[in-house]
Structure 1
Amino acid sequence: MGEIVNLNRARKARDKAQDKARAAANRIAYGRTGVEKESARIERERAERHIDGHKREN
């Protein structure tokens, strides 16, 4: 015979695993400090100005 499984425990374990995965994704997406965000914004603007400065005029 197969193993007896408590469906409530299985459902809760599945939900907990999904919540952990969602939390990990959120830590990656939103886990930067204000200084890191500002630094990335400044670097992105600097790169855009650098590229724009090398464009040819038609």
Structure 2
Amino acid sequence: MSATVVNLRQARKQKARETKAQSGAENRRKFGRTKTEKSQEEAETALQTIRFEGHKLTSASPSQKSDKE
């Protein structure tokens, strides 16, 4: 009878490490984006804002209306 001796403390710690690694992998899949992806999205948002602001019609502000009266 040759049985493998297992240190329970080490086995418990190894299981905790594997669980933590698995939850970390799930979080990276859900929330992780590279710096390049984040900066690309930020640049696209800025460009959309600029284009939107460029298409706005200008109207007289309240201070300009009171000057004309």
> TM-score, normalised to structure 1's length?
0.54
Deviations 1:15-40 (A, max 9, x none): 1011111100000101133728x87x
What is residue 67 of structure 2 aligned with on the other side? none
Structure exhibiting the larger radius of gyration computed from Cα positions: 2
For structure 1, which runs of at least 5 residues remain unmatched after alignment? Answer: 40-58
What is residue 12 of structure 2 aligned with on the other side? 11
For structure 2, which runs of at least 5 residues remain unmatched after alignment? Answer: 46-69
What is residue 27 of structure 1 aligned with on the other side? 28
RMSD (Å) for aligned C-alpha atoms: 2.4
May I ask how many residue pairs the two structures share in their alignment? 38
**1:38-57 → structure 2 map (5 Å cutoff):** none
In 1: Cα distance, 2:15 partner to 2:28 partner: 20
In 2: Cα distance, 1:12 partner to 1:22 partner: 15
